[in-house]
Copies of this chain bind each other. A is one copy, B any other.
Amino acid sequence: MVQYASPALDLSFAALSDATRRGIIDQLGRADASISSLAEKFQMTLTGMKKHVQVLERAGLVVTEKVGRVRTCKIGKGGLEAEAAWIDAHRKLFKARFDALDEIISEMKQEESNGSAS
């Protein structure tokens, strides 16, 4: 059996599968923000925003820190590197395959035109 287990990628891709959570990452890429300011920006209850932030935090995409009564969110240190690495490796794999198919097709066309010329 082939093994591809990576609980870290399971969590981070699942975290990225929601538009609001991608939006939070986008915002935190520009500036750190408190949960309440994120809730306001995304027109969401504080409870709803806390849940989204927890999903991002469990995936390591966001870290939070509570100072006094304010919990501030910032981008996690990993910064999408593992996710980018997986996607890039597979894009390259696909590109190599598509290129190989293109070559086969162009060889077939070449043979066809040689055949019709003879």
Q: Please encode chain A, from 19 to 43, with 1 for each CB lying within 8 Å of some chain B CB and 0 for all others.
A: 1101101110110000000000111
Q: How many copies does the complex hold?
A: 2
A6 interface residue (CB < 8 Å to B): yes
Tell which of B10, B26, B81 touches A4, judged by Cβ atoms closer than 8 Å.
Answer: B26
Tell which of B3, B75, B80, B90 touches A25, judged by Cβ atoms closer than 8 Å.
Answer: B90
> Once the chains bind, are B5 and A10 in contact (CB under 8 Å)?
no
* Smallest CB separation, A85 vs chain B (Å): 10
By a beta-carbon cutoff of 8 Å, the part of chain A in contact with chain B is 1-6, 9-11, 13-14, 16-20, 22-23, 25-27, 29-30, 41-43, 75, 79-81, 83-84, 86-88, 90-91, 93-95, 97-98
